[in-house]
């Protein structure tokens, strides 16, 4: 089986006519026969695509032909199969949604992976290493000694910032998967009066490719069908099954449609609970299955009559 190249990329830059760009870009991606998801808005582009080495090189070349994206940086991973099943290019108001008016011309200073690693050699009580991701992401992996916000979506990040407003004089060093959330989050924190805000250039993926098995614990959550990427050679687990507390990094959506919670669940518990996260959800799921079966039976009877 041939390896699959996976690209992760973004850039905040003015796009005058996003809908026109979307139409042309989708046509190119389909012609190239790649898979992935790309979001385009007036504030820029945010995407991830997969294909063969030849296909991804052609994609990079094509995107960089546009002067707006000539210096765009691609984070690259190698997989055994495509993490996407189709190609999607969509127009969005925000390429990473926070729901706040942000001046993207004033963002946190970049620090290199090497500079980030060196922070762990110092005893700086004024330093805060801040994870800008959602809780279900950092539960399977995070940098050592980092602060991890209890947020479900990036839209909740401003509320978290409000909770740490007494730390405006601290040195804040932020990180996220590929860097895009740190761009917007650091800019927001600067607007809120934080004095020293920096961000890990290239994010978690770039850091672990350069310095594996150092200060990263666990694995990395990714927004494709892989869900979890093993970015460290040792592949250690830091998360546990919600139900039995065994070491686990498998994510599942609760089968109860009224819950649909994103939970870590081992294969044994998934089988035992029909992928439901609680006994109540299991009962509700069985009820939903019975109702669905009854409706199907009713439709069959009506066709017979």
- Strand 196-200 and strand 109-111: the pairing is parallel
The single residue of 29, 176, 266, 281 carrying the catalytic annotation is 176
Q: 265: how many CB neighbours lie within 10 A of its CB?
A: 23
Please confirm, yes or no, whether 176 is among the known catalytic residues: yes
d(CA 186, CA 80): 35
Cα radius of gyration (the chain): 22
Q: 99: how many CB neighbours lie within 10 A of its CB?
A: 13
Q: Phi/psi at 145 (nearest 5 deg)?
A: 65, 20
Q: 200: how many CB neighbours lie within 10 A of its CB?
A: 26
- Residues carrying an active site annotation: 176
């Amino acid at each position: 089986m041939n390896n699959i190249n996976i690209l992760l990329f973004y850039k905040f830059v003015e796009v005058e006519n996003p809908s026109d760009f979307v139409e042309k870009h989708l046509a190119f991606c389909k012609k190239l026969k790649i898979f992935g998801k790309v979001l385009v808005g007036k504030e820029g582009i945010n995407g991830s695509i997969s294909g063969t080495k030849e296909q991804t090189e052609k994609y990079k070349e094509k995107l960089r032909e546009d002067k707006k994206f000539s210096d765009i940086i691609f984070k690259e991973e190698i997989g055994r199969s495509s993490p996407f099943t189709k190609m999607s290019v969509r127009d969005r108001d925000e390429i990473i949604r926070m729901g706040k008016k942000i001046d993207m011309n004033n963002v946190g200073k970049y620090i290199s992976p090497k500079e980030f690693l060196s922070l762990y050699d110092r005893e700086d009580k004024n330093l805060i290493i801040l994870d800008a991701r959602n809780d279900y992401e950092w539960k399977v992996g995070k940098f050592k000694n980092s602060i991890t916000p209890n947020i479900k979506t990036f839209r909740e990040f401003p509320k978290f910032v409000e909770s740490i407003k007494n730390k405006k004089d601290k040195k804040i060093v932020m990180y996220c998967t590929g860097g895009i959330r740190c761009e917007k989050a650091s800019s927001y924190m600067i607007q809120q009066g934080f004095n020293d805000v920096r961000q890990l250039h290239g994010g978690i993926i770039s850091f672990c490719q350069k310095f594996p098995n150092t200060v990263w614990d666990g694995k990395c959550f990714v927004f494709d069908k892989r869900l979890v990427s093993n970015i460290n050679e040792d592949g250690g687990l830091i998360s546990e099954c919600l139900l039995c507390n065994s070491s686990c990094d498998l994510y599942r959506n609760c089968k109860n449609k009224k819950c649909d919670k994103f939970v870590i669940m081992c294969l044994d518990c998934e089988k035992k609970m029909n992928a439901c996260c609680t006994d109540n959800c299991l009962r509700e799921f069985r009820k939903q299955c019975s109702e669905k079966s009854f409706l199907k039976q009713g439709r069959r009877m009506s066709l017979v009559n």
